[in-house]
Amino acid sequence: MIVPMTKYTFVVVASGRADFLSRLQELGLVDITTTGWEPTDEDREMMALADRHREAATHLRTLPTENAAAKNTAKKPKPFTTGAEALAKYEVARGEMATLEAELDRLSKLADEVRPWGDFDSAQLSELTARGIDIRLFTAPTADFEKRRAEWSESHTIEPLNEIKGTTYFAALTARPETKTKTATPIDAQETKLPPESAAKIEARIQTLHQERQSWKEVIARAAASLEKIEAEGELLTERLHMNRTATSGEQAADGSLVIMEAWAREKQQTEVDTLLDESPEVLFIKARPTPHDNTPVELSNPRVVRPFEFIAQMYALPRYGTMDLTRWFAPFYMLFFAFCLADTGYGLAIFLGGLILTLKSEGAMATIGKLSMWCGGAGMVFGFLVGSFFGIDIKQWSMFEGAPIFFPTDGMFLFGLALALGVFQIIFGLTLKAITSARAFGVKYALSTIGWIIVLLTGITMMAPGLLGIELAIPPIAFHIAIGVGAFMMLFLNNPGKNPLVNFGGGLWNTYNDVTGFLSDALSYIRLFAIGLSGGVLAMVFNDLAMGLSPDIPVAKQLVALVILLIGHGLNLFMSALSSMVHPLRLTFVEFYKNAGFEMTTRTFDPLKKANSKK
């Protein structure tokens, strides 16, 4: 439901505007319309700083390791004095940590490359090179090395350094003569660049960097302990920015001595706003109901069971004020479509349990996602039970359910037809909501064209469905013809009340073409529900067959191999099925249902001027 709003127009003495806005901020119930605001350099810096606080707070909330360590140790990290100090220290620490991680990764790879060559002194190697001794490093298969060692030793000093998994690491030392009198025997092996330093020195550097990283981790732990201060500082910056934007809004009047401002408040809280205004002698105000031409801010208020689905609605847009909030109407369809795509009791149970854990362990948006997952997972459990699937196993074969009449027929044609029927029903339901919204907002005559299209659809379905189902209706054909004729007349001639009949007829023909082609394409989109559910079920059965077929016939190994295949296979299939089950119902909601329900979006949400941390 869209929360009813009251529109206010304030006439404020310019000299008292700042004090008046401060009192409105304390009240925390009024959204001031801001127009023509151009941020100053200070405002831009404030916006950037507020974003940095939000980003830091978001990242610090995702550090369970540091937070858990802080709770479980006797000496907890000491919070910083202020949120600004915590942010500055955190940003420096995070930047240093990123640099250290990159350097540690480079040194770790270098140590792995150098380690097989053993320990050595880089200074001594440099001294030998200065004295005219060339030192080269090679690797070769051990068999080749033993075979060619004598040959290479004729012109080089060959020194094996290590042997790992059939590969010999060796050095070839050669004195550089003043004048070359003999060509040295070439070494047919893989040459490696001389390491800059030994593995021991590299590992010592790595250890030093680990200690340095630990010190920066402690700084980040202190920032995590200062999370509330960082959030509070960010909210204060947002509050100041909001006040700056509001303070420069309004229309100047009476040579700048007066300011006219537009504001909004929830209808149920207008008494509190009126009380404040009555106590403000420097303010005159006019109160009115919003009109269709106003850019009225929107806030949703739905029952607790529907509230998690507002998260889905806000992924697209909020409805325009004066139209219908479709959240409570698409929520049952979304759950049903999610369940249709998932089509497995086991997968539904996994999503339900994941949502339950997320709800219990999280707050805010994550808790909302957890509740949404519980609703959708629960629907998946019920639908999966009805089609008889539990992690790809046909539960109708279990003795406890043998012959149970509650299971849907699982042949392809039934589920195909069910998906199509659900789609047609949702489209007609959406058109009905569109007609109701138009009738409420503008009068019944503006809904007659949509009602005519609903009559044509329902009549056509009533004519065709009995034949497809093998049912004979005792309704004379003339009744269907009359109903279609009435619906077609309403579509063609009543689509634009008050206009010329010829204009209405031309517009009606164009709208009819769009309605018919749109209905066919929209209805066919719902067939994907059947396809997604079928593909997930087939993959689940395939992984079950692979687990049984690829397991060796050895008592313990058979169960272990089967378990690994089942965990990996069903894990991948659960991820893909859950993703498909979320995305396609979103498309059906935002494209097919919203379009047929006449959804109109707004770009403005209700954002009252208030103090930081206010709960109003």
d(Cα 452, Cα 444) in Å, to the nearest integer? 12
Alpha helices, DSSP H, located in 62-196: 64-72, 83-114, 122-130, 142-153
User: Is 60 exceeded by the pLDDT of residue 519?
Assistant: yes
Kindly indicate the confidence band of residue 210, based on its pLDDT and cuts at 50, 70 and 90.
very high
More confident residue, 325 or 406: 325
The pTM (predicted TM-score) of the whole model is: 0.73
What does the block give as tokens for 416? 């195909």
Alpha carbons 208 and 203: distance in angstroms, whole number = 9
User: Does residue 78 form part of some domain?
Assistant: no
Q: Is residue 77 part of a domain?
A: no
pLDDT digits (tens, 9 = 90+) for 387-419: 888 888 888 777 776 666 666 666 678 888 888
Do 543 and 394 share a domain, yes or no?
yes
The verdict on 185 and 329 lying in the same domain is no
Q: Does residue 409 sit in the same domain as residue 547? A: yes
Last residue within a domain, chosen from 159, 177, 194: 194
519 inside domain:
yes
The 3-state secondary structure of 307-338 reads: HHHHHHHHHHCEECCCCCCCHHHHHHHHHHHH
Residue 36 has pLDDT above 90, yes or no: no
Phi, psi of 29 (to 5 degrees): -125, 0
DSSP codes of every residue in 421-444: HHHHHHHHHHHHHHHHHHHHHH-G
Mean pLDDT of the chain: 84
**Does 224 fall in a domain?**
no
For residue 181, name the pLDDT band (cuts at 50, 70, 90): very low
In a domain, residue 409? The reply is yes
* 189 shares its domain with 336: no
Mean pLDDT of 162-190: 77
Choose from 60-69, 154-163, 334-343, 547-556 the range with maximum mean pLDDT. Answer: 334-343
Name the pLDDT band for 237 (thresholds 50, 70, 90). confident
| DSSP conformational letter for 408 | P
% pLDDT > 90, the chain: 21
Per-residue confidence at 585, pLDDT binned at 50, 70, 90?
very high
* pLDDT score for 598: 85
Cα gap 264→250, rounded to integer Å: 14
Give the mean model confidence (pLDDT) for residues 584-597: 90
Q: Which residue has the higher pLDDT, 163 or 500?
A: 163
Distance CA 170, CA 504 (A): 93
Last residue of a domain, one of 149, 174, 194: 194
Per-residue pLDDT averaged across 591-607, rounded?
A: 87
Q: Please check the confidence at residue 72 and state whether its pLDDT lies above 60.
A: no
Query: Is residue 567 helix, strand or coil?
Result: helix
CB 389 within 8 A of CB 341: no
Cβ neighbors of 495 (< 8 A, separation 6 or more) are 448, 449, 504, 507, 508, 511
- Distance, in Å, from the CA atom of 558 to the CA atom of 234, rounded to the nearest integer, reads 57
- pLDDT at position 385 is 87
Pick the more confident residue, 193 or 332: 332
Q: Which of 263-272, 289-298, 489-498, 541-550 has the lowest mean pLDDT?
A: 489-498
Distance CA 405, CA 415 (A): 17
Residue 317: CB atoms within 10 A of its CB come to 16
pLDDT of 386 reads: 86
pLDDT given for residue 616 in this prediction: 58
- Percent of residues, the chain, with pLDDT higher than 70: 90
| Arithmetic mean of pLDDT, 104-111 | 91
488 shares a domain with 342? yes
* 388 and 527 belong to one structural domain: yes
Domain count, the chain: 2
User: Average pLDDT, stretch 462-473?
Assistant: 67
Domain assignment present for residue 140? The answer is: yes
Locate tokens 């700084």: which residue? 219
Q: Is the pLDDT of residue 50 over 60?
A: yes
- Provide the residue range defining the domain that includes 186: 121-194
Question: Beta partners for 265?
Answer: 6, 30
- Rounded CA-CA distance 347/530 in Å is 17
Structural domain contains residue 280: no
| pLDDT of 245 above 70 | yes
Domain CATH number, residue 129? 3.30.110
Q: Is residue 339 part of a domain?
A: yes
Res. 64 pLDDT band, cuts 50 70 90: low
Query: Which of 346, 399, 416, 83 shows the shortest CA–CA distance to 228?
Result: 83
At 470, the amino acid letter reads G
Query: Using H for helix, E for strand and C for coil, what is the string for 339-385?
Result: HHHHCCHHHHHHHHHHHHHHHHHCCHHHHHHHHHHHHHHHHHHHHHH
Where are the extended beta strands (E) located within 249-309?
A: 251-253, 258-266, 283-288
For the segment 428-437, the average pLDDT, to the nearest whole number, is 89
